[in-house]
Amino acid sequence: MGYRAVLLQIAVLLAGGIVLTGQPAGATTVDKATLLLRWTQPTAASTAAWNAARRDRKAWAAYDFDWSTDKCSHAPENPFGFNFGPACSHHDFGYRNYRAAGTLDEHRVRLDEMFRADLRRECDSHRLAAQPPCNVLAFTYYETVRILKPNADLG
């Protein structure tokens, strides 16, 4: 098993006891609201757990999550080579599932902070000279979702 795979498994376990097989750890059944909360935190571990679940969606089919995404809506997904698509997809996941549950308003600030954290991690993955312009773009994407009210076009 590669170094990255081991780190990913550790991150997933720290994000709430979900293993990469897609099954809840232990014999207990985790409810949908708990999973949704675990997968929508502004942490790298939460994002890793969400990515692992997204790659194995069939294991989570019983929860009826909405995995659909339009990525970054009407904005570029890869402005100047910065891959904001995954952050936009994660944000869509949170917005769409909390909207379906009727609780988007109470989770919106956290979801937007999660989006901001995902964007910043993308920027941090680039060479030092590229980080300032990436962070300016990331801040613009973040501020756009904060300023605009949630609607069908933003998540």
Residue 111 Ramachandran class (φ > 0 left, ψ -120 to 50 alpha, else beta): alpha
Inter-axis angle of helices 44-55 and 104-124, nearest 10: 100
Q: Which residue among 74, 90, 91, 107 is the active-site one?
A: 91
Q: Is 95 exposed, middle or buried (0-12, 13-18, 19+ CB in 10 A)?
A: buried
Rounded Cα–Cα distance for residues 82 and 144 (Å) = 17
Q: Is 145 helix (H, G, I), strand (E, B) or coil?
A: helix
Q: Say whether 74 is catalytic.
A: no
Rg (CA), the chain: 16
Enter the tokens of residue 60. Answer: 């989570």
| Residues labelled catalytic | 91
